[in-house]
Structure 1
Amino acid sequence: MTDLARPKADLRRTAERYRSEPEPGVQTRHAFSFAGHYDPRNTHFGALQACNEELLAPGAGFGAHRHRDVELLTWVLEGALAHRDGDGHAGVVRPGMVQHVSAGSGITHTERTVGGADVPVRFVQMWLQPDVFDAPPAYGLRRASPGEGLQLLASGLERDADGEALRLRRSDAALYLVTAGPGQALPDLPQAPYRYAHLTRGSLGYRTLPGPRGQGRSLEPGDSVRITGEAFAAPMAGPEGAELLLWEMHSGLKLGADPS
């Protein structure tokens, strides 16, 4: 369980992730317990149940498989990912685009490199527990706007209902894209009991806590920080700038409901 009374910035390096090859030509790095990797101390953070770094060789991908009652968010870093599901949704996710699959009562889909592509696809996929269950499956795809700053990609919060963000079936969670130029401070980040930051490009420095109590830390691509309270202070982009995905979550996992 996470101790919310004690602010903490829990740094996890990309090399510490569990590794697997679930399909031919597919390499996966898992941030949490997943499939054959199980650690009872590392099953989730807040409402986030998976954050997988995926690398698909040309022609490779995930064959038809099923999900139920889970929100799947996908951010492509390189190449193009083709999605197709049994409810008639199809899309190609490219760099700078975010895809949202709300599995609801159940959905069967495939995820593969685009037919004929001669380059791999690299992406991050995150699984969020919903708080609305057994709903009809839904699909959304949008492109992020260019430029630096804090950009809302997806949200289930009522305050964001009238915006352009993809709508999550989790009423107290939101996903952001955060970017900053070389040597620049990150914009003011949203506050929440649980925040999860995953660096996708560049580098980033920060202090574990504000003031003299904090120690300096740095992030490289693929590294992540699990943040509670006022931890993760004064984040600043490195010499090549920084791009990260940031989760704002106001409650933890609802017990008795597992992703599938």
Structure 2
Amino acid sequence: MNIITSDSRGKFSNEWLDSRHSFSFGEYYDPDRMGFSSLRVINEDWVAAKGGFPMHGHRDMEIITYVMEGALSHKDSLGNGSTIRPGDVQRMSAGRGILHSEFNHSADENVHLLQIWIQPKFTGIRPGYAQEHFPLEQRRGVLQLLASPDGRGNSLNMNTDASLYASILQDGEAVQFSKPDGRAVYVHVAKGVLILNGATLQAGDAAEITAETELAFSTQSNAEFLLFDLPAAH
């Protein structure tokens, strides 16, 4: 189990954005941090009031937006328009090309989010968009499936061999995950303090797991974390 600390991530900031990059992105480049398995990007972003990403394009990537605080407004070239709030999960299949913008229209509140990119199983597909609300109370003390290759359990369907779970734990609560053979797991701590197989991870920390098969999660205070079930990393 390889633990990556929050303070080792890349950093970027301007007048409306404060961002931390778990993997190489934009001006941050580290040849040893180009991704993990098919997971290519996890950016933790704080978007200031009245700030946002203007219309820009992507190709051949599965893009997930996970909002933890505030409300983020979305528009894209497919004609979709929505607002993403805590509990909402948005998935864009960029496919052969999609344009989108994400803005914080609040006058005084920041938006705190994770932007996630996962490499697709098939390239050149028709671009697609989906958004679902997963009530936060439903992931208390359990690993809730948010996105998967087959849309099982009412999860969002993704064009990739990966599944995304999330959980919220409070003191005394615990969950377990058994890593399937031939798979790898990436854990990202979104909030709080997580105990993973006896190791303590702070908000922004992550763990890359290739050999351990039984994973035990708990907390002595509170924790919110994401778990990615991925193809074996090479």
* TM-score for the superposition, normalised by structure 1: 0.83
Alignment of 1:63-142 (within 5 A): 63-113=54-104, 115-142=105-132
Q: CA deviation at 1:162?
A: 4.6
Q: CA deviation at 1:104?
A: 0.5
Q: CA deviation at 1:220?
A: 1.3
Alignment of 1:180-199 (within 5 A): 180-191=169-180, 193-199=183-189
Moved more, 10-19 or 51-60: 10-19
Residue 184 of structure 2 corresponds to residue 173 of structure 1: no
Answer 1 or 2: which has greater strand percent. 2
Pair 1:162–1:175, CA change in 2 (3 A): closer
Residue 144 of structure 2 corresponds to residue 151 of structure 1: yes
C-alpha distance after superposition, 1:83-108 (max 9, x if no partner): 11111011111011111011011011
Does the aligned pair in 2 maintain the 1:206–1:232 contact within 8 Å? no
Rounded to whole Å, the distance in 1 between the matches of 2:180 and 2:170 is 22
Pair 1:162–1:204, CA change in 2 (3 A): closer
Q: CA deviation at 1:232?
A: 7.0
The aligned counterpart of 1:57 is 48
Alignment of 1:41-56 (within 5 A): 41-56=32-47
Give the fraction of aligned pairs with identical amino acids, expressed as a percent.
36
Pair 1:56–1:204, CA change in 2 (3 A): same
| 1:19 maps to which of 11, 18, 31 | 11
C-alpha distance after superposition, 1:106-142 (max 9, x if no partner): 01111110x3442010101110000111111111111
**Larger radius of gyration, structure 1 or 2?**
1
| 1:205 maps to which of 195, 214, 221 | 195
Rounded to whole Å, the distance in 2 between the matches of 1:53 and 1:34 is 12
Where in structure 2 are there 5+ consecutive unaligned residues? none
Pair 1:162–1:183, CA change in 2 (3 A): closer
Where in structure 1 are there 5+ consecutive unaligned residues? 1-8, 208-215, 254-260
Question: In structure 2, what residue type is equivalent to 1:37?
Answer: Y
CA RMSD of aligned residues (A): 1.8
Rounded to whole Å, the distance in 2 between the matches of 1:143 and 1:94 is 9
1:163 counterpart SS class? helix
* TM-score for the superposition, normalised by structure 2: 0.91
1:187 counterpart SS class? strand
Moved more, 141-150 or 128-137: 141-150
Rounded to whole Å, the distance in 1 between the matches of 2:152 and 2:214 is 30
Question: In structure 2, what residue type is equivalent to 1:228?
Answer: T
Does the aligned pair in 2 maintain the 1:179–1:186 contact within 8 Å? no
Does the aligned pair in 1 maintain the 2:145–2:153 contact within 8 Å? no
Question: In structure 2, what residue type is equivalent to 1:184?
Answer: E
Q: CA deviation at 1:161?
A: 4.1
